């Protein structure tokens, strides 16, 4: 009988659905941190090299590359000959490739949940940055504790220093990157959230992350495409 369980032949978690040789990895994106910040930090921490193809916005506006992208947007991520779009799908792919997707199905589901929670916060942040920075920044910062407190509660409950399980998952890299951006927006935003503060300190101190955050490659890139931060 045909099996509809793609995981059936995997005795290990996470499932290696693609069963491929990893890499080389290539990111095609604009010259900003934007939606590639988290995946870059994750690859750096995993000791994984990648190539960057930086797209000039004027070239992008000509439309040729856009026409080849599944959703007409960047980033594009290539793993060897395999191309992917959508930044969170790319994070999940890296999670599978680098064993950063939990130890079992339940952890993987919780990691997905946390990543979606980070996405909700990122979307609010991006809307404020791109659509209403001048009038919206102060109310956004005022309301921020009502979003950060949810992550604080999860982090405090798990006690390992990570969102789920006892090592970083792709959701942790995603949260870490979004928190770094928020610390630029408001340097005191974590002062009332001890677990999140110590999470950021711990992630920042991981040697490969520290080296990446100190690199020119990271520092030269603006956080957002409109210069606001
Ligand atoms: N949901 C997508 C959003 C991608 C997105 O918004 N891409 C923007 C840059 S961050 C883009 O390509 N803008 C140019 C355009 O839409 O023409 C993801 O997470 O990758």
| Owner of token pair 């949940």 | 113
Q: Give backbone dihedrals phi and psi of 194, rounded to 5 degrees, phi first.
A: -60, -35
Q: State pLDDT tens for residues 105-141.
A: 999 999 999 999 999 999 999 999 999 999 999 999 9
ipTM tops 0.95: yes
Q: Is the pLDDT of residue 201 over 80?
A: yes
Cα–Cα distance measured from residue 13 to residue 190, given in angstroms and rounded to the nearest whole number = 34
Pocket test for ligand 1, best of 65, 74, 119 (most atoms within 8 A of CB): 74
Comparing CA positions, the residue from 70, 60, 56, 39 lying closest to residue 174 is 39
Please, which residues have CB within 8 angstroms of residue 39's CB and are 6 or more apart in sequence? 27, 75, 77, 87, 90, 91, 94, 173
Cross-sheet strand order for the sheet of 50-55: 50-55, 25-30, 76-79, 82-85
The partner residues of 55 in beta bridges, in order of sequence, read 30
Going by CA atoms, what residue is nearest to atom 16 of ligand 1? 73
The CA–CA distances, whole Å, from 132 to 118, 121, 128 equal 20, 16, 5
For residue 20, the model assigns a pLDDT of 63
Instruction: Tell me, in angstroms, the distance from the centre of ligand 1 to residue 106's CA.
Output: 30
* pTM: predicted TM-score of the whole model, two decimal places: 0.93
Cα–Cα distance measured from residue 122 to residue 135, given in angstroms and rounded to the nearest whole number = 18
Q: And the tokens for 69?
A: 């992208």
């Amino acid at each position: 009988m045909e099996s509809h369980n793609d995981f059936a032949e995997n005795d290990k978690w996470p499932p290696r659905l693609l069963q491929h040789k990893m890499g080389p990895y290539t990111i095609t994106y604009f010259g900003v941190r934007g939606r590639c910040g988290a995946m870059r930090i994750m690859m750096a921490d995993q000791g994984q090299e990648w190539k960057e193809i930086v797209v000039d916005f004027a070239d992008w506006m000509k439309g040729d590359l856009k026409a080849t992208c599944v959703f007409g947007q960047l980033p594009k991520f290539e793993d060897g000959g395999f191309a992917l779009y959508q930044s969170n799908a790319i994070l999940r792919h890296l999670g599978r490739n680098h064993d950063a997707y939990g130890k079992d199905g339940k952890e993987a589901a919780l990691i997905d949940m946390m990543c979606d929670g980070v996405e909700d916060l990122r979307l609010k942040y991006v809307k404020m940055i791109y659509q209403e920075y001048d009038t919206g920044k102060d109310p956004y910062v005022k309301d921020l504790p009502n979003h950060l407190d949810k992550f604080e509660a999860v982090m405090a409950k798990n006690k390992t220093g990570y969102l789920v399980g006892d090592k970083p998952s792709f959701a942790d890299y995603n949260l870490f990157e979004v928190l770094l951006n928020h610390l630029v927006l408001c340097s005191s935003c974590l002062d009332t959230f001890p677990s999140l503060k110590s999470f950021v300190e711990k992630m920042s101190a991981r040697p490969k992350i520290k080296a990446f955050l100190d690199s020119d490659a990271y520092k030269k890139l603006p956080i957002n495409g409109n210069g606001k931060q």
